Amino acid sequence: LHVDDTTVPVLAKGKCRTGRLWAHVRDDRPFGGKASPAAVFYYSPTREGEHAERQLASYTGIVQADAYSGFNGLFVEGRQIDGKPGPIVEAACWAHSRRKFFELARLRKTPIAIEAVLRIDALFAIEREINGQSPLQRLAVRRDRSKPLIESFETWLRGERKKLSSKGPLAKAIDYQFNHWAAFTRFLDDGRVCLSNNAAERAIRGIAVGRRNWTFCGSDTGGHRAAVMFTLIETAKLCDVDPKAWLADVLARIADHPAQRLGDLLAWAWKAARERTVAKHAA
């Protein structure tokens, strides 16, 4: 799962307060997975870690996210679900790390930051070549080509860090990298892991843009309803389905649709049914 969150204004007495919309995205296409892409959104009135823990209470597997401390409760060793092992493995986002160096390279022309960006870009170039291949194929390429780059990057970065004051922004960018080094290098051990968390960041982009066009959620209840709507719309977009056409058709049919076959109306199933109809007519 790719996980990220963004702010949402919520109407309160005499003012607006800040709520949160959380996006959980499944997109297995980068490693050739067969599961249809999907997004699920949750609303919470605050950003406390308890919300992330509740949302993923029954989940076990990989979670790719930024290094927000509120996620730490998910990654505790010995995590259990109903008395059984329920580990969640953390994978960090190289795009997030790159952004810290890129800002220093762009604004201050810092040579170390510029070099760090170039080294990270070399990793992304390899990822573009293996996008869509199987996990085993991706893992083989990463161990052959990416791992030596990572080892060289770590050695170089540790050497440069020794020369810097701990209070400087460049030192903080490097410390961020090393404080989560195991999560950053997780992709070298699992071909399913992406190099970035961009799948979740793309899912919340519409919310960030939308904040300029609408004023607020009217209440916490409105926040939960917004999360439902974003779930439907973003999942349709991930499946390359026009959300407006899909919703219009589903809303027109759902009252008479058998309850036990609601799955037929999900965006990916709806798209597949349309494609079969078109192919049948063409034949």
What are the tens digits of pLDDT across the range 204-258?
998 988 887 878 899 999 999 999 999 999 999 999 999 999 999 999 999 999 9
Around 95, how many Cα atoms within 13 Å sit in the side-chain half-sphere? 14
Cα 258 from Cα 260, distance rounded (Å): 5
Cα 2 from Cα 24, distance rounded (Å): 6
Cα 264 from Cα 227, distance rounded (Å): 22
Which residue is associated with the tokens 């008395």? 83
Cα 11 from Cα 16, distance rounded (Å): 5
pTM to 2 decimals? 0.93
71 near 65, Cβ under 8 Å? yes
29 near 37, Cβ under 8 Å? yes
Strand pairing of 88-91 and 61-64?
Answer: parallel
pLDDT at 266 over 90: yes
Would you state the structure tokens that stand for residue 66, as one six-digit string?
A: 């930024």
Cα 191 from Cα 240, distance rounded (Å): 25
pLDDT at 234: 97
